[in-house]
């Protein structure tokens, strides 16, 4: 016998609970000194420095953007000092701080990204309030989420299905084989432009190509995370785990998703999810290190990863943070400005763009007037030659449902992210690894938040379906030990003791 089909036996739950308690030497404590220092730097020093860069230009509206920088900086500082880990909210407020606060503040005083020229500067202030109100709505949703209680989240469950995880691993490997055969092995390590051209020649505009690629890459990622969960549980049982399969999946995954031919956001999602499985968030201290690294790396490391976008015959160049924040990577705010202009001229779409997102899998040949992604829609509206632009969630809500959609949508997202963080924290206290989706979704949020949502959907749907597949089972057992096992030496104490 090589182990249970589903890793959810009461005995194993008792062992995991007891070992986790023994491994935790101290209760996680808040870090007021770190939070205070971060607040001073992010919400005070940085805004002062921003005011001394460049000169005010037409449409300059520093007040709402300054409020965004201060609000998001304080929230990020609170996350750093919290006694619990906020994986999703850390990424959300990292995005708000840079993409909707610091970057647009610099852009209106220096220059807007070259990919979004001729924005209507008369709408900049209104766009700033769109970003600010959306951020406040996120906070409201998070507060509501913190007041919500659920015993199933306080008492996490082991629910990794061994048989399904192995099935997914082999299926994803098969998809990867088909994908590599279609685009050619050389495309895996070509520049991003050449790799994109190879995919275009192989699949054209057929969504099957995007689905196949997403199924291979994200299927492998979910399978690897599941196998790492399985590895930890098998070690608790002191039995062997599928080591060869785990290594094969990991090698194939990084062959399909690497820093040369893959988008930086996608590679970052894969790399950080892999780190999560080996204990990057096992302690609150490690989480804080990752969070600090993320806010520094966004303007230091992130631009470097774009070195091989056009060609492999190039040298790594270091870009200053100011230059980085005025590039097309940070076009989110400019696209909010374009969204307001679009809705002023054409009105909101009343959900048409969202319908296109939901039905992304329908071929355009079967639906000729299928909505294009919002970033491209705005680019065509403005007459841009470069169409591969972002459309942040703020734009998606505004263009579909206006102000009401923005407020309600952001409150819902804030609520969702807080609930996901509560579940991830509960799992981390037991297994030192986030849940399967908790290892992946937090980092993929940068792609979702930046948009366009339609472009992010193929990978997101694959992640969600595969995550459900390997954790779905007919019977769940709580991590709290069965009373009949109370004599077991690993059993956790009763809640009433």
Report domain extents, the chain. 1-329+408-449+458-480, 330-398
Band (459; pLDDT cuts 50, 70, 90)? confident
d(CA 411, CA 484): 43
Tokens representing residue 451 in the block: 């948009």
pLDDT digits over 419-443, tens only?
999 988 888 888 788 888 888 999 8
pLDDT of residue 457: 86
97 or 302, which is more confident: 97
Q: Mean pLDDT lowest for which of 101-115, 153-167, 283-297, 325-339?
A: 153-167
pLDDT of residue 131: 95
* Section 102-118 average pLDDT: 88
Q: What angle do CA 325, 331, 334 make, to 5 degrees?
A: 115
Band (8; pLDDT cuts 50, 70, 90)? very low
Residue 478 has pLDDT above 70, yes or no: no
Nearest to 469 by CA among 12, 153, 162: 162
pLDDT digits over 17-37, tens only?
444 444 444 456 678 889 999
Q: Mean pLDDT lowest for which of 176-185, 194-203, 264-273?
A: 194-203
pLDDT digits over 115-126, tens only?
888 888 889 999
Token match 């956001």: residue? Answer: 265
Q: Is the peptide bond before 452 cis (omega within 30 degrees of 0)?
A: yes
Tokens representing residue 478 in the block: 């709580």
The total of other beta-carbon atoms located within 10 Å of residue 344's CB is 11
Band (11; pLDDT cuts 50, 70, 90)? very low
Kindly report the pTM of this predicted structure: 0.84
Band (233; pLDDT cuts 50, 70, 90)? confident
Q: What angle do CA 88, 36, 412 make, to 5 degrees?
A: 25
* Section 1-16 average pLDDT: 43
Tokens representing residue 322 in the block: 């100011």
Reduce the DSSP state of residue 261 to 3 states and report it.
coil
Nearest to 325 by CA among 53, 39, 91: 53
Residue 188 has pLDDT above 60, yes or no: yes
Q: Angle, nearest 10°, between helix axes 207-237 and 436-450? A: 150
| Phi, psi (degrees; rounded to nearest 5) at 385 | -80, -35
pLDDT of residue 455: 85
* Section 394-406 average pLDDT: 94
Tokens representing residue 244 in the block: 């060869």
pLDDT of residue 184: 74
């Amino acid at each position: 016998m090589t182990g249970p089909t589903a890793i959810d036996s009461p005995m194993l739950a008792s062992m995991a609970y007891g070992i986790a308690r023994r491994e935790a030497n101290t209760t996680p404590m808040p870090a007021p000194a770190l939070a205070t220092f971060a607040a001073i730097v992010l919400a005070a020093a940085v805004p002062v420095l921003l005011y001394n860069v460049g000169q005010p230009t037409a449409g300059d509206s520093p007040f709402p953007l300054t409020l965004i920088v201060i609000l998001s900086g304080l929230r990020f500082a609170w996350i750093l000092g919290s006694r619990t880990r906020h994986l999703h909210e850390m990424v959300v407020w990292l995005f708000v701080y840079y993409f909707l606060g610091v970057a647009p503040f610099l852009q209106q005083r220096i220059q807007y990204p070259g990919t979004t020229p001729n924005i209507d500067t008369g709408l900049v202030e209104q766009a700033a309030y769109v970003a600010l109100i959306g951020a406040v709505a996120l906070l409201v949703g998070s507060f509501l989420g913190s007041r919500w209680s659920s015993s199933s989240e306080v008492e996490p469950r082991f629910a990794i299905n061994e048989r399904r995880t192995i099935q997914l691993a082999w299926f994803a490997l098969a998809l990867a084989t088909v994908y590599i055969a279609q685009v050619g092995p050389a495309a895996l390590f070509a520049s991003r432009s050449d790799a994109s051209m190879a995919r275009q020649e192989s699949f054209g505009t057929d969504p099957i190509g995007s689905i196949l690629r997403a199924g291979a890459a994200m299927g492998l990622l979910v399978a690897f995370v599941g196998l790492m969960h399985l590895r930890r549980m098998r070690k608790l049982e002191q039995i062997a785990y599928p080591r060869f399969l785990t290594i094969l999946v990991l090698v194939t995954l990084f062959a399909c998703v690497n820093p040369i031919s893959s988008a930086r956001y996608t590679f970052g999602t894969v790399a950080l999810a892999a780190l999560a499985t080996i204990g990057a968030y096992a302690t609150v201290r490690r989480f804080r290190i990752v969070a600090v690294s993320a806010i520094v790396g966004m303007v230091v490391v992130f631009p470097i990863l774009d070195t091989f976008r056009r060609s492999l015959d190039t040298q790594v160049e270091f870009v200053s943070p100011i230059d980085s924040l005025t590039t097309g990577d940070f076009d989110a705010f400019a696209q909010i400005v374009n969204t307001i202009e679009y809705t002023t001229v054409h009105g909101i779409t009343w959900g048409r763009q969202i319908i296109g997102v939901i039905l992304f899998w329908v071929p355009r040949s079967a639906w000729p007037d299928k909505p294009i992604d919002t970033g491209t829609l705005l680019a065509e509206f403005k007459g841009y030659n470069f169409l591969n632009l972002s459309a942040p969630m703020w734009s998606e809500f505004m263009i579909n449902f206006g102000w009401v959609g923005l407020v309600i949508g952001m409150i819902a997202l804030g609520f969702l992210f807080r609930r996901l963080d509560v579940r991830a924290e509960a799992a981390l206290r037991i297994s030192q690894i986030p849940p399967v989706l908790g290892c992946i979704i937090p980092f993929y949020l940068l792609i979702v938040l930046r948009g366009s949502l339609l472009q992010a959907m193929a990978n997101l749907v694959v992640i969600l379906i595969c995550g459900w597949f390997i954790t779905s089972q007919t019977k769940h057992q709580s991590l709290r030990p069965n009373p009949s096992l109370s004599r077991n030496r690993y059993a956790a104490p009763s809640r009433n003791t």
